[in-house]
Structures are given as C-alpha cells and as structure tokens.
Amino acid sequence: MASVQGLGSVLSKFWDEYSVKTPQRLKLIDCYLAYIVLTGVIQFMYCCLVGTFPFNSFLSGFISCIGSFVLAVCLRVQSNPANKDQFKGITSQRAFGDFIFAHCVLHLVAMNFLG
C-alpha cells in the first residue's frame, strides 16, 4: 500500500511540475505525440482483431505513425528552450519547417507504398 501512495505522490509532483514549467508549445506537441501513439495502437489492435488482408495498407499506416512520432519527438527536442545550447543555429521556425518538409516526404512515401 505504501508503494501505491509513493507512486501517487511521484505522479502528482510530476504533473504539477509539468504543468507549471513546460511551455504551451511543448504541451501542444505532447498532445500530438499522444494522438499519434493512440492512432498506432488502434491500427495495431484493428490488425490483430480483423486481420491483415490489405497488408500494404496496414504497413503504410503503421509506419506513417512511427515516422510521425519520430519527427514530432525531433521537433519537441529542437523546440525545447532548455536545449537551445545544443541547437544554436536552429530556430523554432526552422525546426517547424523541417518538420513539415519531412512530414510531406514521409506521407508521399507512405502513399506510394499503398500500391
């Protein structure tokens, strides 16, 4: 029982610090990351329950989710004010532009893979 209370206090402290110290832009990216994970889980569950008849479609959608997640994590790391010393020549606007360009390339490849 003590470990459950300890876990609850750790999660409570984490949430309090996250809500106070994290900029709004990063919270928005975190919501997008949660959405991507949820979409990938739903696609995987659908594949397990219904089957993989159009296997290229499943692979294209799932790989698109994974690629989108990786690109969003890169955007979050580059947009984080705490990491400005590691990304000296990259502004938030350039990081977002790179994110959009990479997303376009990713989705063009995914659409071509559909067949």
CB 88 within 8 A of CB 70: no
Asked whether residue 61 carries a pLDDT value surpassing 70, the answer given is yes
CA distance 25 to 34: 14
**CB-based burial label for 39 (10 Å; 0-12, 13-18, 19+):** middle
CA distance 101 to 112: 17
With a CB cutoff of 8 Å and minimum separation 6, the contacts of 73 are 33
pTM for this predicted structure? 0.86
Instruction: Specify the DSSP class assigned to residue 82.
Output: G
66-93 pLDDT, tens digit each: 999 999 999 999 998 888 889 888 888 9
